[in-house]
Amino acid sequence: MMKRACGLAMLALVAGAAPAQCEASPEQPSRLHQSLQAGGRIAAQPVHDVDASRTKIPPVLEAASGDPYDLVGARSCAQIARSIAALTDALGPDFASGPAKKENKAGKLAEAGGKSIVNAIIPFRGLVREISGAAPAQRRLNNAVDAGLARRGFLRGLQSARRCKR
């Protein structure tokens, strides 16, 4: 019952209502914080849609876009480690195996509700994104991130094949 009440409070928060107080478990503050961050991203979406805030592609990802499987700069174990570190700085932490984290259902519900509200408020959102240049910019960023992930995976494989220390 408490989780449901908190989920509804978060949905109200994303929709613009006053936040409700949720007591609770030790893991709840981080979940609430994540939900509030998602709400902030959703609320800022119209700004992104008209491309008022541009995201710059990090140079390391632009370089990876050229050829993610290039051996330039991967001669020694030290070079490989530096390249992996630079990619991790741009991409965030690498995939970690282990038990799956418990999904924050209330946060996901609030995020979906917030996105629905933003999509309903902005008619022809997709068209606005294409005309403003936000959609092509997002596609370029997504391609650069994909290339960076491929490059990091390639370098990890190279690191392993060469038996480099991690």
Q: Which of 52, 53, 74 is nearest to 64 (CA)?
A: 74
How far apart are alpha carbons 5 and 115 in whole angstroms? 20
How far apart are alpha carbons 140 and 57 in whole angstroms? 8
Residues 100-122: tens digit of each pLDDT: 777 777 777 777 777 777 666 66
State the first-to-last Cα distance of the chain, in angstroms, to the nearest integer. 46
Residues 75-84: tens digit of each pLDDT: 999 999 999 9
Residues 10-35: tens digit of each pLDDT: 434 444 444 444 444 444 456 666 66
